[in-house]
Amino acid sequence: MIAGKQVLLSRVMTTRFLLIVISMSILGSCQNQSRTKGANLIFISLDTTRFDYVDSGWGAKSKTPVLKNFSKKAQVFEKAFVTIPETLPSHLSIFTSYYPHQLGVTQNHFRYDGKYKLIQEILKHNGYFTYGIISLMSLIEPGFWKDFDEFNSKLCSEEIHHLFLTADKISLHARQKLRDIKNKKFFMFVHFSDPHYPYGPPTVKAIMNIYQDGKKINELNPYKGKILPKIKLLPGIHRFRFDMDYPTSDFQGIGIIELTPDANITAKSENIEFRKDIFSGCYFLTGQSGWMNLECEEEEWIHLQVLPKLKIKAARIMYQQEVEYMDKHIGEFLQGVEEFNLFDNTIIAIFSDHGEGLGERDGLVGHVEYLNQQFIRVPLMIYIPGKTQKIITSPVSMSGLSSTVLELLNLGNENFQHSFINLIEKEDTPNENIYSFTYLPGSKANKISIIKWPYQGIYYWKNNSRNKELYNLILDDSFSPMAQIDRKNLISAEREFFSFFLSDSLRHKKKIGQQKFGKRNINRKKLEKLKRLGYIN
C-alpha cells in the first residue's frame, strides 16, 4: 500500500514538473513574442561580401571589428547560402522566399511581375513605414522597390559616372532617415556595395588623365573606374590619350569599354589593343600610357567607360580593404540605432546577396558564372531583442530569411517558405537541403548546386549532356573537384534534386528562355546601363 502511494506520488510530482516545464516554455515563447511582435525591422545588405571576409568571432581575411562586435549579440549562421550569385535575382529571392526561376527573374536586367509578395508589401499592409536606400543600379527595378513608401535610388543615379555609391554616403543618408522615422513602426533596407568590382578603397590614390585632341577631358582613379559622359565626334581623325601617374604593377591593364569597332569608326593605337576575351570585348591599355586615333566618316557619339583589370594578388588586397572600409561605416549607422534607442525594439539582419571569386576558380574575379562556395556562401547575422548570441552551424538558404523574420514578428504568410526559425528557437539540427542556381547567358550553362553538408554537387547541362562536379566543403580548397568523394550523403539530396529541379526548373525552361528575349520581361534602359558597367555581354 505504501509502495503504491509512493508510485502515485511520484507520478503526480512528475506530472507537475512537466506542467511547470511546459508552462515555462510557453511563458518564454510568449515573452519572446512580446519582445518582437510589432518590432521594427532593418535589413543591411552587404553586396558581394564573402563569408570568409567577415569576422563573426573566429577571425577572417578582413578585420571587421564592427561586425565582430555585432555578432556577439546576434544569431550567427555559419553556413548561409544564396540561391543565385547575382544581385537583383538574389535580393528578390531573399525578399520573397522563392527561387529565381519561380520568380521569372534570373538576370539583373529582367523585370519582376510581382507574382509573389515581397516582405515590404506584407509589412506595409501591417502598418509599417517602409524605406530603402541602394548603392548599385542593379536594384533599380520597379518590381523590386514597389511597396516601399520611400526608395532612395536617386543617389545612385546622381553618381552614374561611378559604378556604385560608397559606404560613407549610404551610411550618412540612412542614419538621417533613421532620425526621421525613429518614432514610427518601420522597415528599413540599407544596401552597401563597396566590395563590388571594381575595388577602389579610398586609401588608394591614383590618377588617370584622358585627353582628346590634346585637351584634357577627364580625370579619374583607375582603380575605381568611371563612366564618362557621351563624347561627340565630328567627321575626321581624333586622338585620345590615356596617361596614368601611378605604377601599373597592380594592373593587368585598363579596359576601355563601349568603344567597339564600328563601320563608321576606324581605330589605330599604341599600347592599346582590342581584346575579345576581356569585359566581353574592349580596347585594352597594357602600359602606363597609350593613345588611339579614331577616324570617323560621319558625326558619331561614343560613350566610354574605363574599367580596371587587376592582377589576382592586388584584387585580393583591394577587396579586403573595401570590406574593412564598409565595416567602419556600418558602425556609424549602427551608432545611430543606438543613439535613437532602437535596439530594444528592432530586429536587425545583416547579410550578403552573394560572394565573390578572387581568382580561385579559373582565375575569375567576379561572381556570376560559378556555384562554388566562395560565390554563394555569405555572412548572415540576426539581432533579436532579448536574445543572447547563438552560433548556428546547420546550413540555411537565404531564401528563408524573410519567412523567418516574419514569424518572429508574428506575421507569417502562406507564400513564405524555407523558414529557419526552428534553428533559432530550438536545437541546432539539420534543416533542409540547400539549392543554388546560375542561368544562361550570365553563366556558361544552366547549373544547380545541391548541398548536403559537408558535400556539394554541382550539376549542369552542356551539349545536351548532364555534367557534375563534387566537392567537400570542409576542405580549404573546396573549389577543387573531389573525384573520389563519398557520394552516400548526396543520394537523398540528388533524389530531391531530380523531383524538384527536373519537374520544376525544366518545366520553367521555356518560360526562362522567353524571358531572355521577351521585350516585356527586359528593362531595356537598365540593360544598356548594365552593359556600360561591363555587367552583361
- pLDDT (tens digit per residue) in 371-428: 999 999 999 999 999 999 999 999 999 999 999 999 999 997 666 688 999 999 887 6
- pLDDT (tens digit per residue) in 43-65: 999 999 999 999 988 789 999 99
CATH class of 32-197+312-432: alpha beta
| Helix (DSSP H) and strand (DSSP E) numbers for the chain | 16, 27
Name the phi and psi angles at 14, rounded to 5: -65, -45
Q: Which DSSP string corresponds to 320-346?
A: HHHHHHHHHHHHHHHHHHHHTT-GGGE
Question: What does DSSP assign to residue 522?
Answer: B
Taking the C-alpha atoms of residue 143 and residue 162, their distance in angstroms, rounded to an integer, is 24
Residue 529's identity, in one-letter code, is K
Stated pTM of the model: 0.86
Provide the angle, in degrees to the nearest 10, between the axes of the packed helices 87-96 and 401-408.
30
Q: What's the pLDDT at 495?
A: 64
Q: How far is CA 202 from the centre of its chain?
A: 22
Give the three-class secondary structure for 51: helix
Residue 181's identity, in one-letter code, is I
Cell numbers for 300: 558619331
Q: What's the pLDDT at 347?
A: 98
Q: What's the pLDDT at 260?
A: 53
In SS3 terms, 353-410 reads as CCCCEECCCCCCEECCCCCCHHHHEEEEEEECCCCCCEEECCCEEHHHHHHHHHHHCC
Q: What's the pLDDT at 447?
A: 87
Q: What's the pLDDT at 287?
A: 85
Q: Which DSSP string corresponds to 441-510?
A: TTSSS-EEEEEETTEEEEEEEETTEEEEEEEETTSTTTTS--TT---GGGHHHHHHHIIIIIHHTTTTHH
Q: What's the pLDDT at 158?
A: 52
List the domain boundaries for the chain: 32-197+312-432, 229-303, 449-532
* Half-sphere exposure at residue 203, Cβ-oriented, CA atoms within 13 angstroms: 11
Question: What does DSSP assign to residue 182?
Answer: T
Going residue by residue through the chain, which has 537 residues, state the pLDDT in tens, using 9 for 90 and above.
445 545 444 454 544 544 444 444 444 444 455 457 789 999 999 999 999 999 988 789 999 999 999 999 999 999 999 999 999 999 999 999 999 988 989 888 888 888 899 999 999 999 999 999 999 888 888 888 888 999 988 766 654 566 788 999 999 999 999 999 999 999 999 999 999 999 989 888 889 999 999 999 999 999 988 888 888 888 888 999 999 887 778 999 998 876 654 545 666 778 888 888 888 788 899 888 999 888 888 888 887 888 899 999 999 999 999 999 999 999 999 999 999 999 999 999 999 999 999 998 888 888 888 999 999 999 999 999 999 999 999 999 999 999 999 999 999 766 668 899 999 988 767 657 899 999 887 788 888 888 888 888 888 877 666 778 888 888 766 666 654 455 565 666 666 655 555 555 454 444 444 444 334 455 555 555 565 555 554
Contact between residue 455 and residue 395 where contact means Cβ atoms under 8 Å apart: no
Q: 447 exposed, middle or buried (CB, 10 Å; 0-12, 13-18, 19+)?
A: buried
Taking the C-alpha atoms of residue 491 and residue 98, their distance in angstroms, rounded to an integer, is 24
Taking the C-alpha atoms of residue 456 and residue 473, their distance in angstroms, rounded to an integer, is 7
